[in-house]
Structure 1
């Protein structure tokens, strides 16, 4: 049984995965193996962003799509690219694929372009900002896979930009 209800012919699963693993460059068919790989690659991205480098102080969606590409680009052809299929999970419909660019423009203005202001927010304001940012990103669901984990990465980056360090 597939993880998402899909409404597009462009969505393909890896042959032999029983519709549990998206088509990938590595031929992985086991969902646990894919989860382990994706988790390890995400950890490597965290290390690049927070140990080897410094997150940008002013963000744009291009940073987020770049992180998605860095994270999953060796696994999926579509990494870093906006999804073109409508997705639903457990009966919940995410943003329609054709609305994603417009929604991301609003998301950019409401959250990312304001990232330089974060260090001036008091704790309750910052917590609210991060929570709203996380929820909005999840609702938009701009990518085929990895949106929740990428949203948590984004909130970690925003917390660091605010001078608060990584979230627990």
Structure 2
């Protein structure tokens, strides 16, 4: 079973993968091999951002787009490009592809524009900010693949910018059902479940 249903002309899987691996430049057909490669490349991006490099002074969606391309650009043709496919997962539909660009503009204005203020935010306000930002990014799901992992990278960048450390997401992984319900609750503007999840992993 494919991880996502792609309901558009963009639906392309790697021949020989049994519709389990998206079409890729490396012609990888094994899902476990692809997952290992993506994880390794993401670790390299983390090292470049948090160890070798320096976080940006201002943050825009262009930075997020570049991170996505830097991470997956050698694997997928569509890396770093807002998706043109409508995506659903387990019956849950993310934002329609035609709305991605205006939603990105709104996300940038509502969340990323506050990047320079984060260090001054009291902890409760920072928790709420991170919770809402994470939920809205997931609901927009701007790229064809890798949105969940990229949303965590973004959350880590925001946490470090606020003077905190990288976050340990193992608690989220251990309670995936609650996490998915927290994302779904955000559709109606209820961010309380995600506030709980952020509060549990954000250092004091």
TM-score scaled by length of structure 1: 0.98
Equivalent position of 2:55 in the other structure: 55
Aligned residue-pair number:
168
Task: State the match for 2:135 in structure 1.
Answer: 135
State whether structure 2 residue 45 is matched by structure 1 residue 41. no
Local SS of the residue matching 1:165? coil
- Give the match for residue 88 of structure 2: 88
4+ residue runs over 2 A deviation: none
C-alpha offsets along residues 80-133 of structure 1, whole Å, 9 cap, x if unaligned? 000001011100110000000110111000100110000011111111111111
Match status 1:65 vs 2:58: no
SS in 2 for 1:88: strand
In structure 2, how many angstroms separate the alpha carbons of the residues matched to 1:102 and 1:83?
13
Question: Bigger shift: 125-134 or 99-108?
Answer: 125-134
* Cα distance between partner residues in 2 of 1:153 and 1:48: 12
For structure 1, which runs of at least 5 residues remain unmatched after alignment?
Answer: none
Of Structure 1 and Structure 2, the greater helix share is in 2
TM-score by length of 2: 0.81
**Which is worse superposed, 139-148 or 1-10?**
1-10
* Deviation of the 1:57 alpha carbon: 2.7
| CA-CA distance at 1:10 after TM superposition | 1.4
> 1:58 offset after TM fit, Å?
1.5
Q: Which whole-Å deviations, capped at 9, do the CAs of 1:14-36 have from their partners, x for residues lacking one?
A: 00111110000001000000000
Over the residues paired in the alignment, what is the CA RMSD in angstroms? 0.7
Report how far residue 3 of structure 1 moved: 1.3
Give the equivalent residue in structure 1 for 2:12.
Answer: 12
**Mapped contact 1:57–1:161 kept (Cα < 8 A):** no
Which is bigger in relative contact order (C-alpha 8 A, separation at least 6)? 1
* Corresponding position of 1:75: 75
